[in-house]
């Protein structure tokens, strides 16, 4: 008879706060990642520290925040009130300790959980906190949440405030690095949402006078606006909006209490609904909602008392009310839009006329495409059932409330061998595969009609579920996985062109990536090292010594499923496709995909990648 598992008092174990955070970091900061995605853990750590400094600014103290990132060491210095000196250690190392539980002091704070800085402390190999008040300084240092040094109070001439310095633990965050673009975007958003605040990042100064109007001013080129940006503000709400001349889909930036709610929530749903209702009433026309919102580029920020978010990383607002004994979010947003936008359109007939023309144009285009769309949807349903171009992941079947998990990934690959290898080695819970057939069409300069008439584009759009609404996007990460050769790079360029032409917000909102795959395998009888560059190959040869076997991978199809799991698992390397906000989509596409101009020829010559021509050393 088999011995039964014993279940006694010895099996019961209590974790202290540090152990729990380090064992289950995802509960506190979402996914870990390596810094290639803006919602990776290292940026959440930075955000948690800055949020405390922002709260000081909101309370009327500390108009400047200094942020420094050097190598992997981060420091954030504010000039607020400073942590009470007797509580410096407790605030960063005792759960359920913090000033945000006093709702009078932090009525509409970014976060009310009292966990943020403690999570940073627990997940850092080095953490130092300093507080200055009344010409006295108190400091303490930690490692993985354990107090390593507590300094006595000392007299100081430093300005009051708090400074936190930390080094994220590389035992938890593997092969990570900070990407400047993501940090700058985060800091600019803080400035847009807190006019009058100055943030100095590595010596560069960021500041905003006009809030969300400045955000949209950077997001959409002036030449691409149908009408000047509409900017409306009141207590606890601010919006900015315009319509694009060239963009097809809707683009939204949403915020709650200064937090960038990248997955929207109740406030964004109310905003989209209110825009449609108000415009219908203003023109006294029963327009389709899709025609009104097509090509809209807009931003909304609300301040909610004691907000409830759907995850610890606060990417989606779940609150239905503005606060205790206050109106619903839906009513509050709708009343504001109904009054302010209606008044604005009455006072600005030129804008009202331009907006009407845009809606009527969208209506004409929709009717022209209606028949094609129906046929395309039928084809997509048939193809996904019988051709099996999409191998989906389980997260969509098990989490109907949140179909776009932060971890969900779609690999777009070309060829049966490559798609077969990825399919066999992927994590079926979170990773899906879409298989291309040959090179995609160059869609530059084409209309949306081509998306429905071209089988590959139609099926890809259906797989992503972005035809009607970008909020339906089924995968948080879209990864182009092609060979690292000229043909593979051409496919990448054609796919990026497709997304820029018809769904630019996928790139603007940091959903698109390029998969890095190794160029070489260097191994001996004891160890195998995969190398992504010639420098890594040389280092591997030196490490393994002797005469190791060296293989040069010429394509994804040559990499077996057993090996592929090393490249798309925990150690996956992704290059984000980033877009400079100052450059318009039209300008970008014209340069790269338009006529073969001397400027482009010179650019290609000056930026040739010699990596592709590396000769293997035997």
In the prediction, which pLDDT does 583 show?
Answer: 62
The domain of 526 spans 520-552
Q: Which residue has the tokens 């405390």?
A: 52
Both 103 and 35 in one domain: the answer is yes
In the prediction, which pLDDT does 596 show?
Answer: 64
Both 338 and 420 in one domain: the answer is no
DSSP three-state, residue 433: strand
C-alpha neighbours within 13 Å on the C-beta side of residue 129: 28
Model confidence over 322-349: pLDDT tens digits?
777 788 989 999 999 999 999 999 999 9
Which of 176, 206, 236 delimits the end of a domain?
A: 206
Both 219 and 109 in one domain: the answer is no
Enter the tokens of residue 385. 């059932």
The enclosing H or E element of 561 equals helix 561-564
Whether 424 maps to a domain, the answer reads yes
Whether 104 maps to a domain, the answer reads yes
Residues 145 and 95: beta-carbon distance below 8 Å: no
Q: What is the total count of domains within the chain?
A: 4
C-alpha to C-alpha distance for 193 and 261, rounded to whole angstroms: 13
Both 170 and 285 in one domain: the answer is no
DSSP three-state, residue 587: helix
Q: What is the length of the chain?
A: 618
Both 524 and 599 in one domain: the answer is no
Measured on CA atoms in the order 279, 285, 289, 291, is the torsion positive or negative?
Answer: negative
pLDDT surpassing 90 at residue 614: no
Both 57 and 199 in one domain: the answer is yes
Comparing C-alpha atoms, which of 189, 366, 354, 402 is closest to residue 294?
366
pLDDT surpassing 70 at residue 45: yes
CATH (domain of 232)? 3.30.230.10
DSSP three-state, residue 319: coil
Whether 12 maps to a domain, the answer reads no
CATH (domain of 581)? 3.40.50.670
Ramachandran bin of 107, using left for φ above 0, alpha for ψ from -120 to 50, beta for the remaining angles = alpha
Any idea what DSSP says for residue 588? Answer: H
298 pairs with which residues across the strands? Answer: 241, 252
Both 511 and 577 in one domain: the answer is yes
Whether 165 maps to a domain, the answer reads yes
Strand segments (E) across 9-152: 64-70, 73-78, 124-133, 136-143, 146-150
Please, which pLDDT band fits residue 249 given cuts at 50, 70 and 90? confident
Q: Which residue has better confidence, 350 or 223?
A: 350
Whether 326 maps to a domain, the answer reads yes
Whether 264 maps to a domain, the answer reads yes
CA angle 247, 250, 254 (to 5 degrees): 130
Q: Which residue has the tokens 């410096």?
A: 88
Whether 229 maps to a domain, the answer reads yes
pLDDT surpassing 70 at residue 498: yes
Both 566 and 528 in one domain: the answer is no
Both 560 and 548 in one domain: the answer is no
Which of 365, 399, 419 delimits the end of a domain?
A: 365
Residues of the chain with pLDDT > 70: what percent?
Answer: 85
Both 250 and 291 in one domain: the answer is yes
Which of 155, 171, 206 delimits the end of a domain?
A: 206
Both 560 and 540 in one domain: the answer is no
Residues 358 and 295: beta-carbon distance below 8 Å: yes
pLDDT surpassing 70 at residue 290: yes
C-alpha to C-alpha distance for 495 and 441, rounded to whole angstroms: 9
Enter the tokens of residue 448. 């949306």
Whether 408 maps to a domain, the answer reads yes
Both 576 and 432 in one domain: the answer is yes
In the prediction, which pLDDT does 400 show?
Answer: 41
Enter the tokens of residue 226. 């149908």
Model confidence over 374-402: pLDDT tens digits?
887 777 777 665 556 888 888 754 444 45
């Amino acid at each position: 008879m088999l011995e039964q598992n014993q279940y006694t008092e010895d099996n019961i174990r209590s974790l202290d706060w540090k152990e729990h955070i380090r064992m289950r970091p995802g509960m506190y900061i979402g996914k870990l990642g390596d810094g290639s995605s803006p919602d990776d853990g290292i940026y959440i750590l930075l955000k948690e520290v800055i949020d405390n400094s922002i709260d000081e600014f909101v309370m009327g103290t500390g108009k400047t925040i200094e942020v420094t990132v050097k190598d992997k060491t981060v420091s954030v210095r504010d000039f607020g009130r400073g942590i009470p000196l007797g509580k410096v250690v407790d605030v960063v190392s005792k759960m359920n300790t913090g000033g945000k539980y006093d709702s009078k002091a932090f009525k509409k704070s970014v976060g009310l959980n009292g966990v943020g800085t403690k999570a940073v402390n627990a997940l850092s190999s080095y953490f130092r906190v300093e507080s200055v008040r009344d010409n006295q300084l108190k400091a303490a240092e930690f490692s993985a949440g354990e107090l390593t040094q507590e300094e006595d109070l000392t007299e100081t001439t430093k300005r009051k405030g708090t400074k936190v310095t930390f080094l994220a633990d590389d035992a938890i965050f593997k092969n990570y690095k900070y990407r400047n673009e993501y940090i700058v975007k985060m800091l600019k958003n803080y400035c847009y949402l807190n006019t009058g605040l100055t943030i100095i990042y590595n010596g560069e100064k960021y500041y905003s006078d006009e809030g969300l109007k400045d955000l949209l001013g950077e997001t959409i080129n002036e030449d691409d606006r149908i009408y000047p940006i509409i900017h409306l503000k009141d207590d606890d709400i601010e919006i900015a909006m315009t319509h694009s001349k060239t963009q097809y889909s809707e683009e939204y930036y949403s915020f709650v209490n200064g937090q960038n709610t990248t997955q929207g929530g109740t406030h964004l749903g109310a905003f989209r609904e209110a825009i449609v209702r108000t415009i219908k009433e203003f023109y006294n026309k029963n327009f389709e909602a899709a025609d009104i919102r097509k090509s809209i580029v807009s931003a909304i920020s609300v301040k909610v008392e004691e907000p409830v978010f759907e995850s610890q990383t606060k990417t989606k607002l779940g609150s239905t009310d503005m606060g205790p004994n206050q109106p619903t979010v839906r009513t509050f947003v709708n009343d504001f839009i109904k009054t302010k936008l209606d008044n604005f359109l009455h006072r600005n007939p030129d804008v009202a006329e331009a907006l009407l023309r845009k809606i009527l144009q969208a209506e004409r285009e929709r009717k022209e495409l209606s028949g094609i769309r129906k046929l395309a949807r039928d084809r997509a349903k048939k193809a996904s059932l019988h051709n099996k171009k999409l191998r989906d992941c389980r997260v969509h079947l098990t989490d109907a409330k949140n179909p776009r998990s932060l971890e969900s990934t779609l690999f777009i690959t070309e060829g049966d061998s490559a798609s077969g290898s990825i399919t066999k080695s992927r994590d079926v819970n979170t990773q899906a595969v879409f298989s291309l057939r040959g090179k995609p069409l160059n869609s530059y300069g084409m209309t949306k009609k081509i998306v429905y008439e071209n089988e590959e584009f139609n099926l890809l759009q259906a797989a992503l579920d972005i035809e009607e609404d970008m909020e339906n996007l089924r995968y948080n990460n879209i990864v182009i996985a092609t060979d690292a050769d000229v043909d593979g790079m051409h496919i990448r360029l054609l796919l990026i062109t497709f997304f820029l032409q018809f769904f630019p917000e996928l790139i603007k909102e940091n959903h698109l990536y390029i998969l890095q795959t190794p160029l070489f395998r260097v191994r001996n009888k004891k160890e195998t090292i995969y190398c992504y560059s010639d420098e890594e190959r040389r280092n591997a040869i030196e490490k393994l010594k002797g005469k190791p076997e060296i293989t040069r991978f010429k394509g994804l199809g040559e990499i077996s499923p057993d090996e592929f799991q090393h490249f798309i698992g925990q150690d996956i390397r992704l290059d984000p496709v980033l877009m400079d906000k100052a450059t318009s989509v039209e300008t970008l596409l014209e340069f790269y995909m338009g006529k073969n101009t001397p400027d482009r020829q010179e650019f290609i010559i000056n930026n040739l990648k010699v990596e592709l021509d590396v000769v293997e050393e035997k």
